[in-house]
Structure 1
Amino acid sequence: MYFPKEVEIIEVGPRDGLQNESQFVPTALKKELIKKLSATGVRRIETASFVHPRAVPQMADAQEIVEFCKEINLDFIVLTPNMKALQLAIDAGVKQIAVFVGASETFNQKNINRSIEESLQECVNMFAKAKEHNLFIRGYVSMCFSCPYEGAVSFDQVERVVRHFVQHGVDEISIGDTNGQATPKIVYERFKRLLELFPNTVFVAHFHDTNGFAYANTIAAIQAGIKKFDSSIAGLGGCPFSPGATGNISTKKLVELLHKMDIETGIDEQSLQLANQFAKQLID
């Protein structure tokens, strides 16, 4: 088996983790969580989303969160689902953005009320504008293994979105098991094939732990050649448009697993434990 010397963990708890919480987490507590996470040594944190508050009330304070991230000189990512959101991010001085498109047609329609083709076309203009402002672009591909509405998602469905992202200069692509139904076999096969087709592309694995397979899927992704992983503090998360999907893979447990296999992350486990305890208190 292959085990790299180091992998990068991208913390997504403050955005992807909290977005599904029905009770609004006060902005001051979000800032404290971000501060505690930054103290762990994690390199990048996804902290906010410029989405309409009616759609995701938890992200209503995105502007204030972005200003805070800039104040503490944090390397952070902001989700920008459309052109209006992108402009807000540019105006706010954001340096890294994320855009998502579902590999499943039904999921994409339910999530953003657009077809995949319509989403991909908007991405062309968004990516061009982002590049004009020298922004780092992360592309999320959601529902890359199965879909709660359509069932199994084919490799061709995933490749369609990935190829579009690659052709338009995305800097990294996060491949999501959004409803947490993937198994190590399909994870290994899918990432292996993506890396063969797009050898110069940086891929990130994004696992949800609905069936408890996320850690086994991490090992499978590593064997396929993946060295970057999204995770969420205290396993926070879930997708409002993916019925039954539970939280993201836990940052604390993922780091513990990697360190026990002598894979470095640059993250301090003691500081991470403090952030983990704080995050749990937010949702309790």
Structure 2
Amino acid sequence: MTRTVYVNGDYLPEDQATVSIFDRGFLMSDGVYEVVSVLDSKLLDFGGHIVRLKRSLAELQMDNPLSDDEYLDVHRQLIEKNDITDGLVYLQVTRGNPGDRDFAFPPAGTRPTVVMFTQSNPGLADNPAAKTGWKIISVEDLRWGRRDIKTVQLLYPSLAKMEAKARGVNDAWLVEDGKVTEGTSNNAYIVKGNTIITRALSNDILHGITRAAVLRFANEAQMKVEERSFTIDEAQNADEAFVTSASAFVMPVVEIDGAAVGDGKVGAVATRLREIYLDEMRKAAV
């Protein structure tokens, strides 16, 4: 069945949707994106994703083409047109097509390209991996220095993800100067004693929307949170580990570079945080 997608104001069958070969998103990875989860045909933490989108656009000196209400309307239209119960809505904004290829981008006023599409994922919240946990490897972090901007420059994370797949595990944690930055598409955490530890926000990591919500819920549940960097060795010797993202929610990690974390089973803290997150997000979904 052909999906309906959105391109620059038009709703089209996916096989009829096109973008110029001169679009800077295609030529230069000059664009940003967001992914919003859908449960029970409603959007999770939509407002947070739009706030981050606007920040990313501003950091790249790119015009914001739509209002918050227009973004919300397109998301809802796509959910309805594609009959999405559980899944994702992908949103991408690029600097558009100013003409011939040039490293120097055009001044403000060039119309950005806006693309949105859905991906159906029945049972998204019931991922069986949440019961068994992920196994991960560590790889050197070779990305550019502005990871706080959610750009479409995803080649290196893709290569790291493929290395993990080739080695028979679920994902990779990226390491810089001996410390974990984040996962290929998620924020990273360990638990030691009663303390949840995760890297502090900076240009080094993505300011995760799920991260913000989970840490807020952890504080409300009177769990201790410490924002600091940690090493792979420290993670291997932790009681628990987990990651957060818009699509994985809270996902336990049970093995790092072949070493079991804790007893090698899904821990109580990650399990509880996943339960709280899904419950609270469903209540607030739009």
TM over 0.5: no
Question: Which TM-score band applies after superposition, normalised by the shorter structure?
Answer: under 0.3
Tell me the TM-score normalised to structure 1 length.
Answer: 0.25
Computing the radius of gyration over CA atoms, which structure comes out larger, 1 or 2? 2
Looking at secondary structure, tell me which structure has more helix per residue: 1
Greater RCO (CA < 8 Å, at least 6 residues apart):
1
> Could you say which structure has the higher strand fraction?
2
